[in-house]
Amino acid sequence: MTKSKPHLYRVEVIWTGNTGSGTQSYGTYDRAHTITVDDKPAIAASADPVFRGDKTKYNPEELLVASLSSCHMLWYLHLCAEAKVIVTRYVDYPIGTMMESGDGGGQFSKVLLRPIITITPESDSELATQLHGPAHQKCFIANSVNFPVQCEPSVQLEP
């Protein structure tokens, strides 16, 4: 039996949207905040524009979808390296679907990953496609959410 190892991830989220009157009313404050981790560049974030946020900043929903995509990609590249499938390009266009409830709350109902992977001509394209299954099973983020994460990969050979 493998022993579990805890890993802690510490971030700092600072609300920067006090426009002078705090949260006096729903319409008087900005949803702006920054996300930082130690010595890394800050991420300027806000709410989705539908919820009075700034469309020029990342919102939590986008960051969740990006986290699922990044985690899947990193596991996939790891498994390809082990299987001698040489990936030369990987781009994903994931789509997250969130259902808003009548009371203003909501939840994600699914995320669809749509990676386009380019491999060398010597690599096994069937294996390259199959490795998405184990990558999904190993993805820490996908294993932590309560909605389906689907993957529709496209594998192409390098010209």
Domains parsed from the chain with CATH numbers: 1-58 (no CATH), 60-157 (3.30.300.20)
CA–CA separation, 55 vs 61, rounded Å? 12
CA–CA separation, 98 vs 108, rounded Å? 4
pLDDT at 23: 84
Does residue 121 have a pLDDT over 90? Answer: yes
Q: Of 4-8, 139-143, 153-157, where does mean pLDDT reach its minimum?
A: 4-8
Residues 113, 68: contact at Cβ < 8 Å?
A: yes
Place of tokens 């994600």: 108
CA–CA separation, 55 vs 51, rounded Å? 10
pLDDT at 138: 97
pLDDT at 148: 97
Tally the C-alpha atoms within 13 A of residue 148's C-alpha that lie toward its C-beta.
5
Residue 28 CB neighbours (<10 A)? 13
Apex 76 CA angle, 13 and 92, nearest 5: 65
pLDDT tens-digit profile of 61-84?
Answer: 999 999 999 999 999 999 999 999
pLDDT at 102: 85
pLDDT tens-digit profile of 22-37?
Answer: 888 888 888 989 999 9
Residue 56 CB neighbours (<10 A)? 8
pLDDT at 59: 93
Which is more confidently placed, 111 or 23?
111
The percentage of residues in the chain with a pLDDT greater than 70, rounded to a whole number, is 99
pLDDT at 26: 85
Q: How far is CA 72 from CA 14, 94, 133, 153, in A?
A: 28, 11, 10, 11
pLDDT band of residue 20 (cuts 50, 70, 90) is confident
CA–CA separation, 148 vs 142, rounded Å? 8
